[in-house]
Amino acid sequence: MEKKVIAFNKNLRGENKMDFKAGDVVKIHLRIKEGEKQRLQMFEGLVLGVKGRQSSSPTITVRKVSHGVGVEMIVPLLSKNVEKIELVKKAKVRRAKLYYIRDLTPKQSRMKYKVLKEAIGEKDEQNNTEAKQNDTEIKEGKIE
C-alpha cells in the first residue's frame, strides 16, 4: 500500500525536482492576476523549511525582511501560480527547520553562503570575459 501511495505522489509531482533545503536563498516568480491582466512578481528570501517533500503537495516557507519588517510566505510548489523557483545561494545549516531566525535581527541571522554559478547573470559573465581579454592585451603590449 505504501509503495502505491509513493508512486502516486511521484506521478503528481512529475519532473519537478526540489534541489533546495532550509538555509538556501531562492527567487520565486509568482503569477499575479489583477483583473484581466497578469504579471510576474518576484519574492526572494531564505527558506525556513520544506514540508511534505514526498507528498503530492509539498510547500516551502520563505522569509525576507522588507523595510525592517519580516515577511513570510508559504508557497505550494506545485501551484499553477508559481512560474519558476531559482536557487540563488546555498548555506550550510545544521537544522531542518530554521524557525529560530524569526527572533533574530537580519544582521544576527547571517550565514556562510556559497554563491552558485547559475546565479551569476549573463552581464557578469560578459564583463568577466571582457576583463580577461583586456588583461591579455595589456600583457602582450597591444594597449599602451
Query: Which tens digit of pLDDT belongs to each residue from 68-119?
Result: 899 999 999 888 999 999 999 999 889 999 999 999 887 888 888 887 766 5
The pTM of this model reads 0.70
The predicted-structure confidence for 118-127, as pLDDT tens digits, reads as follows 655 554 555 5
Q: Domain segments of the chain: what residues?
A: 2-112
- Topology annotation, domain 2-112: SH3 type barrels. (2.30.30)
Write out the DSSP string of 5-18. Answer: HHHHHHHHHTT---
87 in Cβ contact with 24 (< 8 Å) = yes
Evaluate whether 27 touches 80 at the Cβ level (below 8 Å).
no
Strands of the 59-66 sheet, one edge to the other: 69-76, 59-66, 37-51, 25-34, 82-91, 113-115
